């Protein structure tokens, strides 16, 4: 009988090994995957790899059992940097104290990955009815860059699962929905001049400010009367300009400005229509006046990354099974994004549920409680038991 408060020793060993790999997103994850591959193959998995363009990072899919259908247990291998953070212990050494396991990624999300790798010896038996797949991705923390490639590769390999669990930290509460997200970079090219000759210049900062004012007005519209999705802390689409750079001196009309803005949108909201409004304003309201002074001026808006919204349905088998395994927990909706929505968009129903609190993610002294890991051990036991029938 699994302990209510102590994690499976296999889980603890795997988490310690995972934390020991410095897989900050700027680094390769191949050393971690080499270890994971050997561990999974030892327990009967068929391994498939999908490399990025320079072959310094990869996604891994470990399959137990063959045939259609099955369950995907999915997690990302990268973590955020520790630069500038004051840790009480080495962030790349798993440290247990006061009922908590500390280390970079302990919460987000090497804790969950350690659980699903720790249970690898159980999958071959559980997969007699239908396959179990373990999916490990790269570069989730910098825009979910790896998972679309892995899903495309899975389709090419003929792997068509019927459900997916993504184990992002939810305090082991089931999450059925999250907002989509898009980040854009806007570059404004003006014409510089001495500030005493301002009428002959094109002030890039001022034109960028007008674009920011539009973004604020669109955000106000969504807040006051936009599409509502109950259950979220913020039940509507949010739009915000969060990064700005421009200008070099008080007496120089700036020739360049740059801003980054984002949408976090609820399911059913059309982000294409929103960005079209912003582009149209730039092209029809701002650029004509800019280019009347200098034809080389202009505004460029480019998509940096995009994460779809997640909206799991109560009729999905994975929805019912996850909820059955966490009785008494309310199904939640969250405003941050996960890789689950990419699976959903590919036709694979997905849910999010994993150990640890998002509040602890990305901080110095990141941790997950041992009790949460023990709960996740029992949860995975139940989930693969259901798969085995």
**140 given a catalytic annotation:** yes
**78 given a catalytic annotation:** yes
Write out the two tokens for 19. 């934390």
* Helix locations, 227-345, DSSP H: 271-281, 287-293, 317-325, 340-345
Q: Which long-range contacts (CB under 8 A, 24 or more apart) does 7-11 make?
A: 7/115, 7/370, 7/373, 7/374, 7/376, 7/377, 8/115, 8/118, 8/119, 8/374, 8/377, 10/118, 10/119, 10/121, 11/114, 11/115, 11/118, 11/119, 11/373, 11/376, 11/377
Q: How many CA atoms lie within 13 A of 162 on its CB side?
A: 13
Is residue 309 within a helix (H) or strand (E), and if so which, with residue range?
none
- Please tell me the distance from the alpha carbon of residue 321 to that of residue 340, in angstroms, as a whole number: 16
- Please tell me the distance from the alpha carbon of residue 179 to that of residue 195, in angstroms, as a whole number: 44
Annotated active-site residue in 108, 122, 140, 262: 140
Write out the two tokens for 242. 């969060």
CA 370 to chain centre: 24
- Please tell me the distance from the alpha carbon of residue 49 to that of residue 386, in angstroms, as a whole number: 27
Q: Is 245 helix (H, G, I), strand (E, B) or coil?
A: strand
Annotated active-site residue in 78, 168, 262, 339: 78
* Helix locations, the chain, DSSP H: 9-19, 30-42, 110-118, 123-126, 147-156, 204-225, 271-281, 287-293, 317-325, 340-345, 370-388
Q: Provide the annotated active-site residues.
A: 78, 140
């Amino acid at each position: 009988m699994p302990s209510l408060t102590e994690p499976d020793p296999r889980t603890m060993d795997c988490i310690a090994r995972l934390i020991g790999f410095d897989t900050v997103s700027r680094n390769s994850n191949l050393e971690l995957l080499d270890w994971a591959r050997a561990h999974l193959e030892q327990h009967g998995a068929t391994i498939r790899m999908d490399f990025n363009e320079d072959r310094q990072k990869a996604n891994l899919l470990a399959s137990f059992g063959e045939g259609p259908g099955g369950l995907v247990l999915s997690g990302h291998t990268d973590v955020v940097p520790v630069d500038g953070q004051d840790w009480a212990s080495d962030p790349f050494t798993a440290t247990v104290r006061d009922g908590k396991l500390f280390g970079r990624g302990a919460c987000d999300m090497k804790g969950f990955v350690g659980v699903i790798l720790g249970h690898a010896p159980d999958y071959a038996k559980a997969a007699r009815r239908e396959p179990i797949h373990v999916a490990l991705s790269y570069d989730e923390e910098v825009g979910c860059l790896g998972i679309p490639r892995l899903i495309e590769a899975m389709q090419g390999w003929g792997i068509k699962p019927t459900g997916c669990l993504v184990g992002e930290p939810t305090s082991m509460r089931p999450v059925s929905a999250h907002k989509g997200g898009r980040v854009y970079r806007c570059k404004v090219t003006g014409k510089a001049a001495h500030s005493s000759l301002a009428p002959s210049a094109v002030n890039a900062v001022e034109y960028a400010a007008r674009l920011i004012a539009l973004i604020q007005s669109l955000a106000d519209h969504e807040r006051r009367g936009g599409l509502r999705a109950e259950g979220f802390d913020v039940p509507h689409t949010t739009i915000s300009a969060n990064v700005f750079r421009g200008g070099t001196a008080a007496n120089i009309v700036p020739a360049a400005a740059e801003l980054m803005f984002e949408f976090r949108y609820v399911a059913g909201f059309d982000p294409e229509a929103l960005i079209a409004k912003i582009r149209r304003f730039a092209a029809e309201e701002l650029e004509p006046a800019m280019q009347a002074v200098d034809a080389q001026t202009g505004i460029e808006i480019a998509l940096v990354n995009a994460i779809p919204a997640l909206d799991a349905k109560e009729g999905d088998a994975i929805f019912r099974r996850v909820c059955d395994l966490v009785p008494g927990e309310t199904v939640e909706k969250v405003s941050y994004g996960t890789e689950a929505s990419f699976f959903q968009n590919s036709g694979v129903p997905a849910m999010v549920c994993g150990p640890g609190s998002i509040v602890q993610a990305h901080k110095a002294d990141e941790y997950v409680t041992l009790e949460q890991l023990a709960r996740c051990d029992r949860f995975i036991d139940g989930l693969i038991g259901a798969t085995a029938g």
